[in-house]
Amino acid sequence: MTQRDRTTSSPDSPVDVIVVGAGFAGLALLRSFRDERGLTVTVIEAGDDIGGVWYWNRYPGARCDVDSTDYSYSFSPELDATWDWTERYAAQPEILSYIHRVAELYDLRRDITLGVRVTEAVYDEQADLWVVRGDDGSVVSGRYLVMATGCLSAVKRPDLPGVEDFTGTVLHTADWPKDKVDLVGKRVGVIGTGSSGIQVIPEIAPVVAELVVFQRTPTFSVPAHHYVLTDADRAAIRTELPARRERLRRSSTGLSVPANPRSALEVTDEERQAYYEEQWNSAGFGFLLAYSDLLIDQAANDTAADFIRGKIAERVDDPATAALLSPRTYPYGAKRPCVDTGFYETFNRPNVTLVDISASPLVKVTETSLHTTTSEYGLDVIVFATGFDAMTGSLLRPDIRGRGGQPLRQHWASGPLTYLGLASAGFPNMFVVAGPGSPSLLGNVMVSIEQHVEFLADLIMSSRAAKTPVIEAEPEAEAAWVAHVNRLAQGTLYLAAASYYLGAEVPGKPRVFMPYAGGLRRYRRECEEVAADGYRGFRRTSTAEGN
Ligand code: NAP
């Protein structure tokens, strides 16, 4: 039987759990549900191989910006014992190798169907089953549906007239070709300066003939301080791993970087500058944790933003270019901050040009060029580093229908409605990992994934044991959770930026703050309290057939 044949199970032979997506979340679900809980699981994956974002995002320079050790599964001492990271921030090929290693170690591939994109999932109320269809015509049914489709996976391609007429090469960082792309000596335009743009730009600048960077909004970035791990580093990591993992589990961010409890405003200017300098020289992503109020107090935030702008001015030779690269329209951290290796210095190269497309927007592509309102740029390659339809894109692109045939698209028409970020009222037995309403994007997503998987496994197993396997978020619990998530965001500076946290990345998307801003520690506690309270907020019933 081929992998593809396996999905063509009829609705008469349902599995316990259908998982959509074979990235970090999908694989963790499969291992936990199948090997620890004894459930039958089938995973459906659109890519031709496992890995999720780490399968698709193969652009030059792609690597994680959380320490590799922290960006890995914590469930298995056996896995830890046989894996050593080579670099502080693992590059995409190494992360993919790690994912392959996990699949091999736990024999995961036998329950994964590759190359099938889920187009539709419908809840059959008579049978209390999800019926899931793939783009190859396959149908699979199961009691539970878990969307492990990622919050940053639905690729966003701006609607630029004429792209199809371009005779050169058009690429997207999040859908980079598997075969090597030869950029040597080419004239390349990169659109976008988020985390992906910031990684690809310095990587390709030395090899291309000309690099034109089209920037709409400048990004705050601090040095990554990337390095190759030595044997001594690895030995030290191994020794402290159990304690480090426990610290991460109990932290608010899921990061190893300690959060400073002090306010940026309670110290002298000299003390603050010295501390920022120290953090700048070591913290990487953790620079955001330099003071406790950077994301809640504008004056505190200004001190960090000013410091970073000062560093940009030091790193970029041309003052006009430095000014263009310096964010001034939103607080530091209100859009997802970046860490970089040589990003700003790249603009000192003679073959690199920065184009401000907020002043002169892109208007069209012709056979040979990209046009702004004021200029034309002849290019051989256009790279879209324009990101994703974040958080909801991967959940709303398939047609998901719950009770009474209600489309999720309709239920979420004014923004995503979830209970704990995990379930939605009217969509029984459908769950989401790292979805809207959960902290996912605001911390180390690996820590969130593992917590969600454990919570869902316990919820499902206890409901089955109680002969009430149909689990549904109560509308009141959902409404209260959405209000809670909103309230948490109200106390922050997140609302002061047109970010993908708020749905601002896609024209017409509802402007709702989607992630849970209370931190991983508080979220975990809230989930634990819900479980201890008999899974308060979830209605659990037997099936229509009385099972
Ligand atoms: P992103 O952060 O959303 O950045 C997209 C960039 O493209 C922004 O500069 C955006 O400008 C620009 N853009 C979008 N639409 C545009 C349009 N129509 N015209 C012109 N410019 C446009 O996307 P990303 O860089 O792919 O990163 C997404 C997320 O993936 C990151 O925040 C991070 O969570 C994750 N990621 C992580 C890593 C890592 O671990 N190191 C690496 C890459 C990505 P505006 O700001 O004006 O919208």
Which ligand 1 atom sits closest to the C-alpha of 193?
9
Residue 2 has pLDDT above 50, yes or no: no
What is the DSSP secondary-structure string of 23-61? SHHHHHHHIIIIIIT---EEEE-SSSSS-THHHH---TT
What confidence category does residue 375 fall into, taking pLDDT thresholds of 50, 70 and 90?
A: very high
Percent of the chain at pLDDT above 90? 94
**Residue-level pLDDT at 1:** 32
Among 54, 176, 196, the mutation site with the greatest number of ligand 1 atoms within 8 A of its Cβ is: 196
User: What is the pTM assigned to this prediction?
Assistant: 0.96
Any idea what DSSP says for residue 352?
A: E
Relative to beta strand 41-44, strand 112-113 is: parallel
108 lines ligand 1 (CB under 6 A): no
Among 324, 505, 509, the mutation site with the greatest number of ligand 1 atoms within 8 A of its Cβ is: 505
Task: Report the nearest-CA residue for atom 46 of ligand 1.
Answer: 217
The rounded Å distance from CA 194 to ligand 1 centre is: 4
What confidence category does residue 185 fall into, taking pLDDT thresholds of 50, 70 and 90?
A: very high
The CA distances from residue 416 to 90, 213, 456, 512, in Å, are 32, 34, 19, 8
172 lines ligand 1 (CB under 6 A): no
**Residue-level pLDDT at 93:** 97
Distance between CA atoms of 292 and 310, rounded to whole angstroms?
Answer: 21
**Residue-level pLDDT at 10:** 54
**Residue-level pLDDT at 544:** 81
Percent of the chain at pLDDT above 70? 98
The rounded Å distance from CA 256 to ligand 1 centre is: 24
Task: Find the mean pLDDT for residues 401-427.
Answer: 98
340 lines ligand 1 (CB under 6 A): no
Q: Per residue in 201-220, pLDDT tens?
A: 999 999 999 999 999 999 99
Compute the mean pLDDT over every residue in the chain, rounded to the nearest whole number. 95
Which ligand 1 atom sits closest to the C-alpha of 158?
18
Task: Report the nearest-CA residue for atom 48 of ligand 1.
Answer: 505
Q: At what angle do helices 445-465 and 231-250 cross, to 10 degrees?
A: 50
The rounded Å distance from CA 386 to ligand 1 centre is: 5
Task: Find the mean pLDDT for residues 28-39.
Answer: 98
**Residue-level pLDDT at 11:** 53
Task: Find the mean pLDDT for residues 427-456.
Answer: 97
Considering only residues 144 and 259, tell me which one the structure prediction assigns the higher pLDDT: 144
Residue 7 has pLDDT above 60, yes or no: no
Task: Report the nearest-CA residue for atom 3 of ligand 1.
Answer: 387
385 lines ligand 1 (CB under 6 A): yes
Residue 6 has pLDDT above 60, yes or no: no
**Residue-level pLDDT at 546:** 76
Among 325, 371, 386, 394, the mutation site with the greatest number of ligand 1 atoms within 8 A of its Cβ is: 386
Residue 459 has pLDDT above 70, yes or no: yes
The CA distances from residue 63 to 41, 144, 293, in Å, are 30, 33, 29
Residue 5 has pLDDT above 60, yes or no: no
Task: Find the mean pLDDT for residues 455-482.
Answer: 98
